[in-house]
């Protein structure tokens, strides 16, 4: 371990989330107005309340005759109630006339009930006697065959809670309430930097002991998929002065800064000390009780979040998905649990206790069920992430899971 041993504070995943929360919450107090057409995938900054009840008029659920229910009481096929029809309701036009006792009005499905009507008789129970006289063969109760004002949504009711991620159906609901301007959280600005003397740009042919930069692109993709404004800042060699200057610029330009690389203990300590010296409060955790992903560091510098992720591409992706993404897309504040398919494990999975583990797996269809197959391969290989459909999460104190057991899979989104 490096000289700054007091920095090495390994935390569990839940401890890291708890530590970061007070520093992230101010980002969730921000708001900006955008047009409804731009809102897909954005996160609502406030509760959306019903401005106008839905429906805002009483509408028929059947084709038939709008009536006063009391005029039909006691009606039967042998002794129909007689009602005089006073015209017809047309779609999109509010009836001008009110019904008086003994009167009815023809109405289509979805039509607005005239004043004085409180029920609709279905066309099947009507008999025409000529000259607008109708016989009603079956009584109706008040409220029958209609949707009342506010039955779908009442005025003042919260219909979409704050921090909801807007899907097409939320866009439709907002439109139904007349929201063309929508209050959303500003997108997180995320800066991504790859570090290490051995890392070269993808267009270069790597010399022996050099590697093309993978993390810059996987992390950029993950940040974009989380709905952020993300920017890739390229590759930085292991140079204390240059790295400090680059990180200071990134912290000015972004809300969240992510650097990857420096998996060796020496390089790891170097990054940790650098983060700790950039501003207040500095380093908050140094090491994560997670496999893959132990060499993870994180801190806050003057209100901005900064993370140092492992150099191994698969490890960096797992840590991003577990530690960074939930904040960027707001799922952690909604306490959102994504559906996790379940299946039968095809092989034993072993795990050391004292840390959580995310094992990469494939989902293979087996009849109406899934067979869950662990992907074998060294933790750092990016190909294992391409082959994987998701992870099986093994908790802190579980030594492993036997083949044949039912397990849930956290899908790689």
Which domain CATH number covers 94? 2.170.190.11
Region 124-130 average pLDDT: 94
Which pLDDT belongs to residue 294?
A: 80
Report the pLDDT averaged over residues 23-32. 95
* Whole-angstrom distance, CA of residue 72 vs CA of residue 114: 17
How high is the pLDDT of residue 411?
Answer: 86
Judge whether residue 413 has pLDDT over 70.
no
Does 236 fall in a domain?
yes
Residue 374 lies in a domain: yes
Q: Are residues 73 and 106 in the same domain?
A: yes
68 and 85, same domain (yes or no): yes
Containing H/E element for 240? helix 240-253
Contact indicator for 102, 84 with CB cutoff of 8 Å:
yes
If asked whether residues 129 and 206 sit together in one domain, one would say: no
Q: Where would I find the H helices in 297-370?
A: 313-319, 325-328
Continuous segment of H or E residues that includes residue 66:
strand 64-67
Range of the domain at 65: 59-147
Residues 90, 46, single domain; the answer is: no
| Final residue of a structural domain among 283, 306, 328 | 328
Q: Supply the pLDDT for residue 353.
A: 64
Domain end residue (candidates: 264, 295, 328):
328
| DSSP, residue by residue, 269-307 | HHHHHHHHTTSSEEEEEE-BSEES--S-EEEEETTEEEE
Question: Is a pLDDT exceeding 50 seen at residue 5?
Answer: no
Closest CA to 202 of 234, 231, 241: 234
In this structure, what CATH number is given to the domain that contains residue 37?
3.90.105.10
Please report the beta strands in 69-141, taking only residues with DSSP state E, as ranges in sequence order: 81-88, 103-107, 119-122, 126-130, 133-136
Is residue 156 in some structural domain? no
pLDDT digits (tens, 9 = 90+) for 259-305: 998 655 566 677 888 888 888 999 998 888 887 778 889 999 999 99
pLDDT above 70 as % of the chain: 93
- One domain for residues 270 and 398: no
240-253 and 265-276 are packed helices; what angle lies between their axes, rounded to 10 degrees? 50
pLDDT of residue 385: 85
Least confident of 11-25, 88-102, 303-317, 334-348: 334-348
Task: With respect to residue 336, please indicate whether it lies within any of the assigned structural domains.
Answer: no
Q: Rounded to the nearest 5°, which phi and psi values hold at 51?
A: -85, -30
- Tell me the C-alpha distance between 97 and 29, whole Å: 51
In-domain check, residue 335: no
Decide: helix, strand or coil at residue 40. coil
Q: Which residues, in sequence order, are CB contacts of 313 under 8 Å at separation 6+?
A: 214, 215, 218, 380, 381, 382, 385
218 and 250 share one domain: yes
Residues 319 and 196 in one domain: yes
Last residue of a domain, which of 184, 211, 238? 184
- Looking at the structure of the chain, the number of domains it has is 4
263 and 191 in a common domain: yes
pLDDT band at 218 (very low <50, low <70, confident <90, very high): very high
Residue 378 scores a pLDDT above 80: no
The CATH number covering residue 270 comes to: 3.40.980.10
327 against 4, higher pLDDT: 327
Q: Residue 155 domain-assigned? A: no
pLDDT at 95 over 80: yes
User: Across all residues in the chain, what is the average pLDDT?
Assistant: 89
- What's this model's pTM, rounded to 2 decimal places? 0.80
Q: Are 108 and 222 members of one domain?
A: no
Spatial distance between the Cα atoms of 46 and 28, rounded to a whole number of angstroms: 10
Greatest Cα pair distance, the chain, in angstroms, is 102
- Please tell me whether residues 25 and 102 are part of one structural domain: no
Q: Are residues 322 and 350 in the same domain?
A: no
Q: What does the H/E/C string look like for 166-208?
A: CCHHHHHHHHHCCCCEEEECCCCEEEEEEECCCEECCCCCCCC
CATH code, domain carrying 355: 2.40.340.10
Is the pLDDT score of 4 beyond 70? no
Residue 220 domain-assigned (yes or no): yes
Inter-residue contact 106 to 156 (CB < 8 Å):
no
The secondary structure element, H or E, covering residue 73 is none
Q: Given 3-state DSSP classes, what are the helix, strand and coil percentages for the chain, each rounded to the nearest 5?
A: 25, 30, 45
Q: Do 303 and 225 belong together in one domain?
A: yes
63-92 mean pLDDT: 95
Higher pLDDT pick, 376 / 7: 376
**Quick check: is 159 in a domain?**
no
Q: What is the pLDDT of residue 6?
A: 42
């Amino acid at each position: 371990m490096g000289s700054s041993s007091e920095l090495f504070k390994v935390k569990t995943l839940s401890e890291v989330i708890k530590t970061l929360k007070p520093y992230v919450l101010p980002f969730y107090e921000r708001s900006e107005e955008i047009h409804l057409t731009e809102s897909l995938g954005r996160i609502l900054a406030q509760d959306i309340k019903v401005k106008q009840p839905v429906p805002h008029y009483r509408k028929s659920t059947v084709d038939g005759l709008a009536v006063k229910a009391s005029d039909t009481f006691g009606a039967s096929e042998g002794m129909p109630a007689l009602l005089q029809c006073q015209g017809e309701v047309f779609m999109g036009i509010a009836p001008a006339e009110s019904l008086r006792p003994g009167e009815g009005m023809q109405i289509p499905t979805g039509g607005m009930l005239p004043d004085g009507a409180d029920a609709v008789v279905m066309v099947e129970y009507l008999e025409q006697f000529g000259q607008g006289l109708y016989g009603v063969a079956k009584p109706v109760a008040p409220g029958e065959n209609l949707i009342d004002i506010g039955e779908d949504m009442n005025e003042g009711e919260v219909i979409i809670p704050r921090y909801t991620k807007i899907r097409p159906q939320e866009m439709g609901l907002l439109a139904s309430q007349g929201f063309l301007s929508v209050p959303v959280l500003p997108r997180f600005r995320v800066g991504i930097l790859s570090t290490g003397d051995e890392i070269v740009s993808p267009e270069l042919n790597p010399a022996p002991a050099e590697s093309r930069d993978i993390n810059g692109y996987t992390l950029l993709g993950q940040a974009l998929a989380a709905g952020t404004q993300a920017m890739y800042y390229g590759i930085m060699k292991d140079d204390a002065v240059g790295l400090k200057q680059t990180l200071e610029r990134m912290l000015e330009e972004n809300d969240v800064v992510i650097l990857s690389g420096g998996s060796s203990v020496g390089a790891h300590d170097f990054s940790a000390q650098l983060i700790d010296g950039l501003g207040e409060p500095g380093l908050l955790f140094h090491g994560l009780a997670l496999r893959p992903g132990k060499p993870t560091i994180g801190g806050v510098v003057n209100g901005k979040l900064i993370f140092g992720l492992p150099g191994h591409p698969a490890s960096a992706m797992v840590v991003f998905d577990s530690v960074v993404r939930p904040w960027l897309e707001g799922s952690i504040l909604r306490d959102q649990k994504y559906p996790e398919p379940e299946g039968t494990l095809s092989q034993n999975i072993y795990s050391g206790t004292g840390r959580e583990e995310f094992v990469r797996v494939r989902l293979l269809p087996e009849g109406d069920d899934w067979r869950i197959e662990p992907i074998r391969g060294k933790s750092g290989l990016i190909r294992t992430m391409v082959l994987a459909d998701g992870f099986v999460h093994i908790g802190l104190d579980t030594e492993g899971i036997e083949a044949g057991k039912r397990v849930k899979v956290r899908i790689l989104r």
